[in-house]
Amino acid sequence: MIPTSGGNNWGTSRLSPCFHNAVAHVFVWNGETGKLADKGSFLARTEPSDTDRFPTTAAGGYEATLTQHNGHAALRLQPTDRIPITNGANPAHPDRDYATGILVHIAGLDNATGMTRAGGGISEGCVLVCRSQYSGFLDAVGATANPPQRHFGVMLSANPNMQSGVEKEDDDLP
């Protein structure tokens, strides 16, 4: 069951299918009320571009900070130097059982999630947000505010109804 709390943005898209396997729930810390406010849920992909080469970020709750990725607003999962992964060892750095520098950021051009021509990945461990949902994601993180500082929480939920790599965003409209 896909969660429906907060500002969901399951909008239709003319983009290529978004290959997702998870939902990223975004929360913002409200300094006045002392509570976490639910800002929305976004279709996401936790599986990297090549699972044999890169780590997969574990589902769960994270603190997060606003950052940028290739000029786009993104969230950095914390603690950024020790992000838990589902792999026993990090495929990119086999001497480690965690990942570093993991962001929640927009998927590649036309929702691409695979390897790039340069030989890297669209995701080398980062969580990708489907392109059709990115404007909602921007609203959720308040990236256009100045100053933009927000204190975030991100809950990554792997969704049992999502078969990784086979569904379109439109198929998941509640």
Q: Which residues bind other proteins (CB under 8 A)?
A: 27, 29, 31, 34-36, 54, 60-63, 65-70, 76, 78, 80-81, 92-93, 95-96, 99-103, 108-109, 112, 116-126, 146-153, 155
- Residue 45 contacts residue 128 (beta carbons within 8 Å): yes
| Minimum gap (Å) between residue 70 Cβ and other proteins | 6
Q: Which is nearer to other proteins, 147 or 174 (CB)?
A: 147
Q: How far apart are CA 73 and CA 146, in angstroms?
A: 13
Distance from C-alpha of 105 to C-alpha of 29, rounded to nearest angstrom: 20
Name residue 150's amino acid: R
In terms of CB distance, is 88 or 171 closer to other proteins? 88
**Closer to other proteins by Cβ: residue 17 or 108:** 108
Quick one: CA torsion of 31, 36, 42, 44, rounded to 10 degrees? 100
**Burial class of 15 by CB neighbour count within 10 A (0 to 12, 13 to 18, 19+):** middle
**Nearest approach, Cβ of residue 164 and other proteins (Å):** 19
Instruction: Report, in Å, the least distance between residue 101 CB and other proteins.
Output: 4
Output 37 or 173, the one with its CB closest to other proteins: 37
State in angstroms the smallest separation of the CB of 172 from other proteins: 21
CB 116 to other proteins: min, Å:
5
Whose Cβ is closer to other proteins: residue 91's or residue 136's? 91
Closest CA to 21 of 173, 174, 166: 166
- Give the residue with the Cβ less far from other proteins, 70 or 161: 70
Q: In the complex, what is the shortest distance from the CB of residue 140 to other proteins, in angstroms, rounded to a whole number?
A: 14
Of the candidates 36, 72, 70, the one whose C-alpha atom is nearest the C-alpha of residue 144 is 72
Residues 6+ apart with CB under 8 A from 57: 46, 77, 83, 84, 85, 86, 99, 102, 125, 126, 127, 156
